[in-house]
Amino acid sequence: MTQRGEATGTAEASPREVAVGAPMGHRARMSTAARTSEAPGATTAGRTPAGGATWTVAHLPVLVPTLLTAALTAWRYDAKPLWRDEIYTLTTAGRPLGEMAGLLVDRDAGLSVYYLLVHGWLLVSHDTAWLRLPSALAAVAAVALAAALGRRVGGDAVALLAGTTVALSQALVTHAQEARPYPLVLATVTVVALLALRQAEDPRRGRGAVLGGAGVLAVGLHPLVALPAVAAVLGALWLRPGRARRRDVTVIALPAAVLGASLVLVGSLQAAADPPARMPLWKLSTFWRLVADVPAPGVVLGLLAVAGALRLARRRETLVLVAWAVLPVAAVSVLGLLGGYFNYRYATAAVPALAVLAAAGAVAVTGAALARAGWGQRGRARAIAVAALALVLVAALGPGAIADRRAAYYFDDGPGAAAQLADQALPGDAVVFVGSVSRPLVERHLPAGELGPGRLEDALLDAGDDHADTRGGDDVPAAQRRRALAGHPRVWVVGTMAVATDDLYRPSPTARAAAAGRAMVSRTDHGHVRVELWAAPGR
């Protein structure tokens, strides 16, 4: 894609100007063709330069982080059991369409597009590895796209560092191996950004249609995550349309805006029936966890992103990247302050923009240091500096990624809870499940025949069909639960803890029914799955 000086009011730069330490402001613009054919180590497809580099070598800045992501995603790919959100994906999208629609009328309607796509995917298999595959593939694509965006903005060095940052970011590492929409959103939002920048240079009706469709898909996958990012990118394009017309940009953005606003409105109305607990103000400072499992790398990358934004000032890419990095964080913060569902990972879509800006900042800072040392024009010194920066990234973010992969579970230890029940439950005990996913989360790991009369009775399971939220049957109505448990001196309560309040949903009618006339004998937490035993006096 060619950067046109007449479209941006800037002149093309020489290859030297985009090297480490070279100016990266509004005069440091060059075409992709010039960058790939003239920059050190680069080549065009199908042609080997004098240095003997192949096409593959020329694209190593994109290939290296992409292959790193593929390897890290494949390692222990299905070693962790499904956690509560994945179980919800499975038990929602795995229903017949009519039942799924009926469930979405009551809850989680905002993710209807995602569940519809997964429903088609699950027609092949419900296996854990298959369920997670869309996210795994999207994670690899997201890193390749982020590296390509970095290459467009600042050349090979920025491509390598941006791609590596996204590949090792906590947000991508965690979600690449789970059946949730975050990696898909990352990939589609990055596609929106690349297409928007290209549309500003060379507006075409077909590309505009694809851009609008990508925005709709991103927002449909997860409106809370994608809508601020898509709005930021297309809003920046509207403010600086280049050769495109603002009227056309408005038409492109309108479908995504309408869909996103509709999904957010419906989801908000559903949430009003069961409002979340207000999050403490200090949790608004947890966005560094998108990048790393400890604050320092996230803070450093944030500072480098500011440096990158200043270095790339006055360029259209900078407006897009800054808006894209800031608006998701701002939107989630406002949501939390208003008492909505605050979770720092709802800002995941900002990670590619943050990574590209931080990479540009790191390249600029390093280049300035090399220039002061008198090495600014030495190609080998620049290459060594970039490689060193990449190694620093790996050293800073790699341990967290490895620890995530080695963990036995993420958040919910369903197998541990099932093992406790199988080992400690006595014949005639009852078990009740708190939370809409607790039963399938734990039951899938119990030995065959463990649940049933005479062994461990699922006392509130009223029917054997699949219509209820529990995906195991219709629970006894709340007013009748104490009576249903009356014949069981010992009752096991199994539930997924509410993160905000650290209890079994403050507490639920099921937990209150189990506690009536009984005392707690034991409480064990398996990750965020809690197993309690309540027994009548003398039992």
Q: How many Cα atoms within 13 Å fall on the side-chain side of residue 490?
A: 17
CB 176 within 8 A of CB 139: yes
How does 34-70 read in b/e, with b if 16+ C-beta sit within 10 Å? bbbebbbebbeeeeebeeebeeeebbbbbbbbbebbb
pLDDT category at 374 given cuts 50, 70, 90 is confident
DSSP label at residue 150? H
pLDDT > 90? residue 391: yes
CB 458 within 8 A of CB 528: no
Question: What is the per-residue pLDDT for 409?
Answer: 94
Question: What is the per-residue pLDDT for 469?
Answer: 54
pLDDT > 90? residue 338: no
Question: What is the per-residue pLDDT for 56?
Answer: 62
Phi-psi region of 391 (alpha: psi -120 to 50; beta: other; left: phi over 0): alpha
Question: What is the per-residue pLDDT for 200?
Answer: 96
Q: How far apart are CA 497 and CA 129, in angstroms?
A: 26
pLDDT > 90? residue 285: no
Q: Pick 292 or 32 by higher pLDDT.
A: 292
CB 364 within 8 A of CB 307: yes
242 SS3 class = coil
Question: What is the per-residue pLDDT for 38?
Answer: 35
Q: How do strand 519-526 and strand 490-496 relate by DSSP bridges? A: unpaired
pLDDT > 70? residue 500: no
Its pTM stands at 0.86
Question: What is the per-residue pLDDT for 538?
Answer: 77
Question: What is the per-residue pLDDT for 57?
Answer: 66
For tokens 């989360």, the residue is 441
Element (H, E) at 81: none
**Count of beta carbons in the 10 Å neighbourhood of residue 169:** 29
> For the residues 158-162, what does the mean pLDDT come to?
97
Q: How far apart are CA 320 and CA 236, in angstroms?
A: 5
Q: How far apart are CA 222 and CA 249, in angstroms?
A: 22
Q: Which of 3-7, 45-49, 315-319, 528-532 has the highest mean pLDDT?
A: 528-532
Average pLDDT value over all residues in the chain:
85
Q: How far apart are CA 226 and CA 454, in angstroms?
A: 50
**Side chain identity at residue 441, one-letter code:** L
Minimal CA–CA distance to 459: which of 437, 479, 488? Answer: 488
Question: What is the per-residue pLDDT for 341?
Answer: 74
Q: How far apart are CA 316 and CA 105, in angstroms?
A: 41
**Side chain identity at residue 230, one-letter code:** V
Question: What is the per-residue pLDDT for 511?
Answer: 86
Q: Which residues contact 42 (CB under 8 A, 6 or more apart)?
A: 35, 36, 49, 53, 58, 156
Minimal CA–CA distance to 398: which of 291, 301, 303? Answer: 291
Q: DSSP secondary structure string, 3-57? A: PPHHHHT--B--GGGGSTTS--STT-B--HHHHHHHSTT---TT---TT---HHH
> For the residues 57-85, what does the mean pLDDT come to?
94
Q: Which residues contact 204 (CB under 8 A, 6 or more apart)?
A: none
Question: What is the per-residue pLDDT for 48?
Answer: 41
Minimal CA–CA distance to 27: which of 238, 311, 237, 244? Answer: 311
pLDDT > 80? residue 199: yes
pLDDT > 50? residue 29: no
What share of the chain has pLDDT > 90, as a percent? Answer: 61
Q: Pick 284 or 450 by higher pLDDT.
A: 450
Question: What is the per-residue pLDDT for 99?
Answer: 87
Q: How far apart are CA 420 and CA 130, in angstroms?
A: 28
pLDDT category at 235 given cuts 50, 70, 90 is very high
Q: How far apart are CA 48 and CA 128, in angstroms?
A: 44
Question: What is the per-residue pLDDT for 470?
Answer: 56
> For the residues 363-379, what does the mean pLDDT come to?
83
Sheet holding 429-434, edge to edge: 456-458, 429-434, 490-496, 529-535, 519-526
CB 61 within 8 A of CB 363: no
CB 473 within 8 A of CB 461: yes
* 3-class SS string, 390-425: HHHHHHHHHHHHHHHHHCCCCCECHHHHHHHHHHHC
Out of 127-136, 276-285, 437-446, least confident range? 276-285
Q: How far apart are CA 70 and CA 72, in angstroms?
A: 6
Question: What is the per-residue pLDDT for 377?
Answer: 67
pLDDT > 90? residue 6: no
Question: What is the per-residue pLDDT for 376?
Answer: 67
DSSP label at residue 498? B
Minimal CA–CA distance to 95: which of 131, 56, 123? Answer: 123
pLDDT > 80? residue 493: yes
Q: How far apart are CA 317 and CA 18, in angstroms?
A: 15
Out of 155-164, 230-239, 348-357, 373-382, least confident range? 373-382
